[in-house]
Structure 1
Amino acid sequence: MSIASFFTATYCLSGQVIDAVCRALGAEKAGDGPLIERAAALSGLGADKIARAIYEKTSVFNKFSHEREKAVAYLKIALGERLKADPLVLDGFCGLLVGKTISHVMKVAVTADVKFRVRQYLADKGGSEKDALRALHKDDEARILWAEYLTKRDPWNPELHDILLPMDKMGVDEAAAIVVDNLSKIVVAPTSESLAAVDDFILAARVEAALAEKGHTVGVAAKRGVVYVTINKHVLLLAKLEEELKRIAAKVPGVSTVETKVGADFYQADVYRPVNFELPSKVLLVDDEREFVQTLSDRLQMRDMGSTVVFDGEQALEFLRDEEPDVMVLDLKMPGIDGMEVLRRVKREHPSIEVIILTGHGSEKDRLACMDAGAFAYLQKPVDIEKLSDTMRQAYEKVRGRS
């Protein structure tokens, strides 16, 4: 049976449409939640990390950790497994992962104009029009970021969907009838090719996940056991990388042959960087000495440690509202919110973050106070980069040991 995959705006009666389609088909509705849980079980990543990969903007640390790519690879596996269920109606962000070759999945977009959605919000939630617009903007932003990440397109681009239902121009029954009627058409009927495409989709995702586990982020496609790996960033030792990618991919069950090629972006300025999972890739440096901390960040990145920089305690706490590093290197003496206050709040609100104090003005009393507040280590400037790197590795090992 054909599968309907819904990608919807909020407050446009989409839930009623989907429920009506499920009743008409006698089909089960599958949302993102079970797929997130399955991907978490497969990957060892927490369900919260999988969810963030879908619903939130790409982390500033992702270019070092490749955590989003890993999460998406496992989501694809979970989705591919679910596509084998029948009958089925998909409802959520994950439907955008389905490739065009799986032609028996009919993609349906449900939306409405802003005035209609504001009315629906006010009827459901109450409040003011300003409240409604703020909520709609936040909801839409998540969809825009997800579609941009996956497809480089607007989420409502007609190329991404087979049917677009504008709910400000039709009723629930009419919209559901359009979906049910189109699902019965031969063009979206399952074929041996489209069913085989599901197996190809799963195999490609498993290879993608296997490569991600070894720190590699590349394009992967599969057809009948042949896996095609595309390298989209420049690398100096191309032959060596190709050999490593082939070796990893070939070990995945179901792979008969691995072919590699360079993609259209290979000759751009960006450089291919595999992740070394033995080293911290999510480090936040907090120091008001801008030249020092920028130089430190550069030196750490040369050692394959991913870091980002903020320049005072207030910026650090603001940063932690959206991101959670594994390790923080924190200056003690800063204007405004000082390092001691940042340390206390971090250990209270984000206890999994290991904090290394790095200061040029501390005393023995300060050291004892910091260690008592939960700091992992207390180092004095100027610090040997090898000593700092080793301390960061030890802190990261402690983080990994808890996961």
Structure 2
Amino acid sequence: MSVISIFNGTFCNADAVVRDVIDSTGYRLLTDEMVIISAAEASGMPESKVRRAFSAKTSVFNKFTHEKECSIACLRLALATALKTGPAVVQGFSSLLIPQTISHVLRVCIIAETAYRIERAHAQDGSSQKEALKHIHAIDADSAAWVETLHGLKDPWDASLYDIIVPMNHLTVEEAGALIEENLIKEAVRPTDASKKAQEDFLLAARVEMALSKAGHDVSVSAQDGRVTLTINKQVLMLARLEEELRAIAGNMPGVESVETRVGKDFHEAHIYRKHSFEVPSRVLLVDDEREFVQTLSERLQLRDVGSAVAYDGKSALTMVNEDDPEVMIIDLKMPGIDGMEILKQVKATRPEIEVIVLTGHGSEKDRQECMALGAFAYMQKPVDIDALSDTLRQAHAKVQQRNA
């Protein structure tokens, strides 16, 4: 039996259409939340971090952690595994993870004109036109970012991605369901030996991608009849060594007959391949109003493979704590507005798992005692020896890793 994938805009009555299709076909439903839960259980990643893969906003630390890419690999493997057990309606962002090579998938887009969506939003939760439009634009931005990440297209409703587009401002729920069911029985989406093999290839590629991701790598993976192709899309200084490492990991996976590596179309762009190291900190937030100092410090830490981002004031730092989940912070005490002491108090009150290193040129013994009493991991004076700071960072990272384990 064929699979139905449904990608939809918000406030398009898609849930009602999906229920109608399920009632008529007896198919099981795979939602984003179901796939997220399975992905998190299989990978050990927190559900919240896997879920962030669907957001247009990417963490400032992502170029060091590859967290979004790893989350997508987890989601892909969870979906490929779930599809093994039989036909389903896959609804949501996850539906676009199914490769086009699997032909027994009816790819559906449910969308509507903005006026219809605003009206549905008002009927659903009483939203005003302004509130509804803001919500619609925010979710559409996530949809657009997701489609661009997976397919390189800027329009999430691009007709090339779907077999049918269902305009809900022109159809009732029953009519939309009937249209989907009518297309489901067409010859073009019936399973064939080739399409079943493509689904097996999808699962094998997902398993290889997950293994590479767990080893800190970020490459594109495809498979055909046990032959795996790994595409490197960022420049790397020692390409032969990287290719050897990738082939060694992928070649040991069950079902892999051969491994080919190649460079992709973006290889010569100004992006450097960076393997994620689990041994050094990769989510360090530096907070200091001395811009030149903190930028130089960030660069020097990155040369030591420490992933860091900067904030120049306390308000920005606290926002980044909530949005970007740093593991370790290095903060200056004396800053205008929200100073380092207040940052330390707020972080330890709301996010005690974050380790905080105080680095100051104006502190006193009294300040040191107060900071340590508030829960600071270390108190260091400027100018600081970069190796001593790096060692302290590694100790703080080790404490975070031990607690997480």
Same fold (TM over 0.5): yes
Residue matched to 2:103: 103
Q: Distance in 2 between the 1:21 and 1:85 partners?
A: 19
Alignment of 1:133-152 (within 5 A): 133-152=133-152
Moved over 4 A (4+): none
Displacement of 1:320 in angstroms is 2.3
- Give a deviation string over 1:236-260, Cα, whole Å, max 9, x none: 2211111111001111111111111
Residue matched to 2:33: 33
- Equivalenced residues, count: 403
Residue matched to 1:112: 112
Residue matched to 2:68: 68
Residue matched to 1:210: 211
> 2:352 is aligned with what amino acid?
P
Cα contact 1:357–1:377 (8 A) shared by 2 = yes
Residue matched to 1:263: 264
Q: Distance in 2 between the 1:202 and 1:55 partners?
A: 24
Q: Distance in 1 between the 2:16 and 2:272 partners?
A: 47
2:11 matches 1:15: no
Displacement of 1:55 in angstroms is 3.1
- Give a deviation string over 1:211-268, Cα, whole Å, max 9, x none: 1111111111111111101111112221111111100111111111111111111122
Q: Distance in 2 between the 1:40 and 1:351 partners?
A: 23
Q: Distance in 2 between the 1:214 and 1:87 partners?
A: 32
Displacement of 1:54 in angstroms is 2.0
Displacement of 1:60 in angstroms is 1.2
> 2:289 is aligned with what amino acid?
D
Cα contact 1:26–1:87 (8 A) shared by 2 = no
Residue matched to 1:278: 279
2:371 matches 1:370: yes
Q: Distance in 1 between the 2:107 and 2:375 partners?
A: 51
Q: Distance in 1 between the 2:127 and 2:5 partners?
A: 32
Output the aligned Cα RMSD. 1.1
Displacement of 1:396 in angstroms is 0.8
Residue matched to 2:308: 307
Residue matched to 2:398: 397
> Which SS does the other structure have where 1:371 is aligned?
helix
Displacement of 1:11 in angstroms is 0.9
User: Percent of aligned pairs with the same residue?
Assistant: 52
> 1:159 is aligned with what amino acid?
S
| TM-aligned CA distance change 1:69 to 1:166, over 3 Å | same
Decide which moves more: 197-206 or 293-302.
Answer: 197-206
> 2:140 is aligned with what amino acid?
D
> Which SS does the other structure have where 2:106 is aligned?
strand
Displacement of 1:209 in angstroms is 1.2
Alignment of 1:239-258 (within 5 A): 239-258=240-259
- Give a deviation string over 1:292-347, Cα, whole Å, max 9, x none: 00000000111111111110111111222321111111111101100011111111
Q: Distance in 2 between the 1:175 and 1:23 partners?
A: 13
Q: Distance in 2 between the 1:284 and 1:353 partners?
A: 10
> Which SS does the other structure have where 2:390 is aligned?
helix
2:93 matches 1:93: yes
Decide which moves more: 45-54 or 126-135.
Answer: 126-135
Displacement of 1:85 in angstroms is 2.8
Decide which moves more: 80-89 or 212-221.
Answer: 80-89
Q: Distance in 2 between the 1:58 and 1:238 partners?
A: 27
* Structure 1: runs of 5+ lacking an equivalent: none
> 2:18 is aligned with what amino acid?
I
Q: Distance in 2 between the 1:194 and 1:246 partners?
A: 27
Q: Distance in 2 between the 1:220 and 1:313 partners?
A: 41
> Which SS does the other structure have where 2:149 is aligned?
helix
> 1:10 is aligned with what amino acid?
T
Q: Distance in 1 between the 2:8 and 2:253 partners?
A: 35
Displacement of 1:156 in angstroms is 0.6
Residue matched to 1:81: 81
Alignment of 1:307-346 (within 5 A): 307-346=308-347
Q: Distance in 2 between the 1:251 and 1:71 partners?
A: 22
Residue matched to 1:298: 299
Displacement of 1:56 in angstroms is 4.7
Decide which moves more: 67-76 or 52-61.
Answer: 52-61
Residue matched to 1:169: 170
Q: Distance in 1 between the 2:14 and 2:82 partners?
A: 22
Q: Distance in 1 between the 2:314 and 2:237 partners?
A: 40
> 2:302 is aligned with what amino acid?
Q
Q: Distance in 1 between the 2:215 and 2:82 partners?
A: 26
Cα contact 1:108–1:164 (8 A) shared by 2 = yes
> Which SS does the other structure have where 2:90 is aligned?
strand
Q: Distance in 1 between the 2:319 and 2:45 partners?
A: 25
Q: Distance in 1 between the 2:272 and 2:371 partners?
A: 39
